[in-house]
Amino acid sequence: MLYYFLYPLAKYHTIFNVFQYISFRTIYAAITALVLSFVMGPYLIEKLKVLKFGEVVRTDGPQSHMSKAGTPTMGGAIILLVVVISVLLWGNLSNMYVWLLTFVTVGMGAIGFIDDYSKVVRKKKGGMRPRTKFLAQVAVALAVVLVLYYSKFNTVVTIPFFKDAKFDLYWFYIPFAVLVIVGASNAVNLTDGLDGLAIGPMTIAAATYMLFAYLVGHAKIASYLHVMYVPKAGELTVFAGAMVGASLGFLWFNTYPAQVFMGDVGSLSLGGALGTLAIITKNEALLLIVGGIFVVEALSVIFQVGSFKLTGKRVFAMAPIHHHYELKGWPEPKIIVRFWIIAIILALLAISTLKIR
C-alpha cells in the first residue's frame, strides 16, 4: 500500500524513489513483521491463555512433553496476521503472485485454525477428520495451481545441479504443483513437534526463497546466472521477507522452553506458503534441498508406517524422527539446534546450485 501512496511522491522529492525498490521494501517488510511480532506477541499470547487455548499433549509420546500441557497454542495466528499486515503495507498489490501466495497462506491457515479449534476448544480428539483436512488442503492448492496454469505459467521443471535436465510436464504440472504445496504444508506440520524445531528451518527456507525470488524475477541477473526468468516473481521477495520477519519474531517466543506453540494454523499455512514460493519461483525440485529437514521428517513417518504395516517392525524408536532422538536421550535443545545447523547447510547447498550445474 505504501508503494501506491508514497512512490508517486517521488516527483516532489527523490527520497520517495526508494519505495519502488523491491530490496528496500523487502527489508522493511521483514523489520515490520519482526517488530509487530514483538509488540503484538505478548498481548496475543496472554489472550490465548485467557481463552484457554492450551495444548492438549498426547500421553503416548516422550514423557518429557507432559510438562508442556497447557502451553498456549494456535500462536500461528500471530504469524499469519503479521505476514498479511506487512505484505499489505510493503507489497505491490497489483501483482497477481502476491495475491495467490496470500490466498494459499490464509487458506491453509483457515484449515489449520478449524482443526486446532476442534482439538483445543471443542476437545474433539484428533481434530478434523484427516480425509476432510487433506481434501480441503488439495482444494486450496488446486485453486491456485489452476489460476497459474490457465495464465500460461511455465510448466517446465528443472533439476538442481543439472543444467540441461529440464522436463515439460504440460498438464501434469497441475497435480505435481498441488503435491508440492500440500506436501510442504503437511511436512512442516509433522516437523512441528519440539520448541522452535519447525520455525527455525522455516526462517532459513523462507530466506533462501527470498533470495531466489529476487534473482529469478530480475531479467538481467536471471540471464547472467542462467536461471529461468519469471517475470513479476521478484515481488515475492517482499512476501518472503515478511515471512522471515514473522518467523524470527515467532521464534522469539517459541524457542525452548516455548511460551507458545504455532498450532496447525501456523504450520499448515507456512508450509503451504513455502511450497507455493517454490512453485512460483520455478525452483520446485530445489525445495527438496531447501526444505530438507521437513522432507526427512515426513520420510521418517512414511518409512515408519510402511515398515510397521509390512513387517510389523519399526525403523525408528518413534516417528517423526525428532521423537527418535528424544527417546535416545538427546536433550531437546540439542536436537533443535542440530536440526537448525543442518537446515543452514542445506540452504547453502541450495544456493550453490546457482553456480554448480
State the Cα–Cα distance between residues 333 and 339, nearest whole angstrom. Answer: 10
Q: Smallest distance from the beta carbon of 299 to ligand 57M, in angstroms?
A: 11
CB of 110 to ligand 57M, least distance (A): 15
Between CA 21 and CA 24, with CA 22 as vertex, the angle to 5 degrees is: 70
Residue 57 contacts ligand 57M per CB under 6 A: yes
In the complex with ligand 57M, the residue whose CB is nearer, 60 or 164, is 60
Q: Which residues pair with 209 in a beta bridge?
A: none
State which of residues 55, 284, 297, 326 lies at the interface with ligand 57M (CB under 6 A).
Answer: 55
Q: Considering only 209-217, 255-263, 273-281, 285-293, which stretch makes contact with ligand 57M by CB under 6 A?
A: 255-263
CB of 220 to ligand 57M, least distance (A): 41
Least distance from ligand 57M to the Cβ atom of residue 69, Å = 8
Report the site for ligand 57M in 70-109 (rule: CB under 6 A).
73
Counting residues that bind ligand 57M (by CB under 6 A) gives 30
The mark string for 318-347 relative to ligand 57M (x by CB under 6 A, - otherwise) is xxx--x------------------------
In whole angstroms, the minimum distance from the beta carbon of 258 to ligand 57M comes to 5
CB nearer to ligand 57M: pick between 176 and 303: 303
Residue 211: burial class (beta carbons within 10 Å; 0-12, 13-18, 19+)? middle
Q: For residues 74 and 178, which CB has a smaller minimum distance to ligand 57M in the complex?
A: 74
Q: For residues 280 and 234, is the Cβ–Cβ distance under 8 A?
A: no
Q: Which stretch binds ligand 57M (CB under 6 A): 2-10, 159-167, 193-201, 206-214?
A: 193-201
The nearer residue to ligand 57M, 267 or 283, going by C-beta atoms, is 267
Q: What's the min distance (Å) between Cβ of 60 and ligand 57M? A: 5
Least gap, CB of 11 to ligand 57M (angstroms): 48
With respect to ligand 57M, which residue has the nearer C-beta, 155 or 304? 304
Hey, which residues does 156 pair with through a beta bridge? Answer: 168
CB of 81 to ligand 57M, least distance (A): 16
Asked whether position 68 contacts ligand 57M by CB under 6 A, the answer is yes
Q: Could you give the maximum distance between any two Cα atoms of the chain, in Å?
A: 74
Beta bridge partners of 158: 166
Smaller CB distance to ligand 57M: residue 90 or 117?
Answer: 117
CB of 47 to ligand 57M, least distance (A): 16
**How far is CA 109 from each of CA 112, 140, 259, 262, rounded to the nearest angstrom?**
5, 11, 20, 11
Residues that bind ligand 57M (CB under 6 A): 55, 57-58, 60-61, 65, 68, 73, 189-190, 192-195, 254, 258, 261-264, 267, 301, 304-305, 308, 314, 318-320, 323
